[in-house]
Chain A
């Protein structure tokens, strides 16, 4: 198992020198004290996260661990190239499947995986989004399984959340431990909001003939990621709108303001495809803006991400991302995939059923760490229940080996302890591809646990990219 801070002989790896010095100089007791201070700050600022279907406190805090996760400059260079490459290929794939479908004709990806996919929207066929961009913010979940081995666990092409934690975690670290940042050894993440705004402005619709008006569309203050929505809108200086604030008239989209209707050009939407427009997608939905999809299709407004972008981050499609990179870019994939068995394929299915106790089983459309089976950690009964589910509907599932995720130090009850971590950077795709040096490190706080999702007891850390 790869430990991010300690090498095999327990000496400190180079990127962690500063962190280690700081831990030793501060002392565990004092760090623990500062840890509770940090929590009070989070609470005061109101950085909270709601967990669906758990009841209890609707405004829970995501546990924050003080000890930063660090990447060296050369590690980041490789990651960064790999992430941008992947984001380009995923967008090329989306344009292709909603147009001629060359990659399907060439037999690289089975047709039914795309056309029969729930996330594939026939309404999008032939629509040309500005700049041919479908997924404007690509969140790539990456794990490290060895010193120089990074693997992509999954892609998030719709509206990956968590970027506010990247910004706030840094903010809090700088507020509490300014001395750590004095020497300028850590790359700044401050540029993210302005880069995001620039990206959104770059994809203004053809009918926009002035400076584009960009808004962030949120389902409302009861949504679990509402804090992030308001935080980003605030940092970009754009309106945070709810569906009822928008309406369609004369082929354009408007928001209701105290001075009457004002035109909207670009919508960074944080609501699901099916809730965008009840006239097109979900007739019984109370959410959404009637007629919005038609305005989108006719170039009156841009939706970010494009409806139907989810077909690229499906776990069954994931298997083919390295092939996409070769097919569209003619390049060798820089980041590896995790070996994945598709239960839809008979040979794979047989292998999976024979080896359930060693594998991680995921739902093709699932997210948030729900409905997973982690074979080695599961009781016999659970495994059998999953076996039945897989047999009943094989195409719903994929399987991956239980990965040996790297561990990073956290401040636990017994002092410094090791816990498994992953990493999610946020890649922006407009006219250019931009990547802030940083991302969100999620950490499984339970000893030995491999599940880092905040909805399942995961926490977060500040993530440092060291300057060259």
Chain B
């Protein structure tokens, strides 16, 4: 496979995942801002911060939904806005049309102009529909890849791009929200924290899944355990890294050659397997999250180095 094709597959996977995650993040802010007793501005602030692409407006004193929606959904100059992500994914796909199946291309191509002419007010008015639409686009793309793409190197690069982006998004959300998960906030108790905890789950679409696994109350360590260490929740750091490791192993087998990124991924998987949630809290949740963000960045760089893109 051409290195350029691998690169485009990888980034197409990343951009589609980012569009999806950003839609879930905005959805979280929208829901939280509606709850009684919430501080609307604070909710949108944490949305802006977790997106990682709006540090300037996250610091603004008066922040409103419209500014966040403009920046994260519509802004053509923000490479991480949903509009930019969908456009970039399509541009990546268009550059390697032959590596895509017809179904995948149609999923990328369908409706990509939709956000082009929209202003923030209109977008805000139709926000739930637009977010739903975004999630449907990315789901259709993912579905098309699953059922139509050959399981060879192209598929591996596409999936690894998506998984790296997903691990990164979960980690960044934790980075912004870690303080609500610190043990001392548990002492305060009460409805406010409950909302904060559920917001973290909501942004990762994990509210119901959490119940199925933990069958009880929301607790900070339960939530952290779920998002970081749980092996079966598909947005957890552990799940993402295990899958990346598997794809890297498959790729190494296909090419008959061990690769440097395999080592990075397997070290991380080992660490996640060994550490318990209590130990993780003791040694510092924030530190762990920061380190993991660095590792993820390094892994991405190692993959492009190993496969010449």
Contact = CB atoms under 8 A, between A and B. Distances in A.
Contacts of B157: 258
A92 B97 CA distance: 36
Interface string A28-54: 000000000000000011100000000
Given A46-B109, A256-B308, A221 B94 contact: yes
Contacts of B110: 44
B115 interface: no
Q: How large is the interface on A (under 10, 10 to 19, 20 to 34, 35 or more residues)?
A: 20 to 34
Contacts of B1: 257-259
Given A258-B3, A258-B6, A46 B105 contact: yes
Contacts of A240: 96-98
Question: Which of B91, B96, B97, B308 has its CB near the most chain A CB atoms (within 10 A)?
Answer: B97
Contacts of A221: 91, 94-95
A331 interface: no
Interface residues of B, number: 23
A230 interface: yes
B98 A230 contact: yes
Contacts of A239: 2, 5, 98
B149 to A, nearest CB: 13
A194 to B, nearest CB: 16
B10 to A, nearest CB: 10
Given A46-B109, A258-B255, A258-B308, A241 B2 contact: yes
A233 B1 CA distance: 14
B298 interface: no
Contacts of A257: 1-3, 308
A258 B95 contact: no
Interface in A234-259: 234, 239-242, 244-245, 255-259
Nearest to A262: B2
A59 B157 CA distance: 28
A242 B2 CA distance: 10
A233 B153 CA distance: 19
A46 B96 CA distance: 13
A414 B309 CA distance: 55
Interface in B66-100: 91, 94-98
Contacts of A45: 102, 105-106, 109
Contacts of A245: 2-4
A412 interface: no
Interface of A: 44-46, 220-221, 226-227, 230-231, 233-234, 239-242, 244-245, 255-260
22 contacts: A44-B106, A44-B109, A44-B110, A45-B102, A45-B106, A221-B91, A221-B95, A231-B97, A233-B98, A239-B98, A240-B97, A241-B2, A242-B4, A245-B3, A245-B4, A256-B2, A256-B4, A257-B1, A257-B2, A257-B3, A258-B2, A258-B3
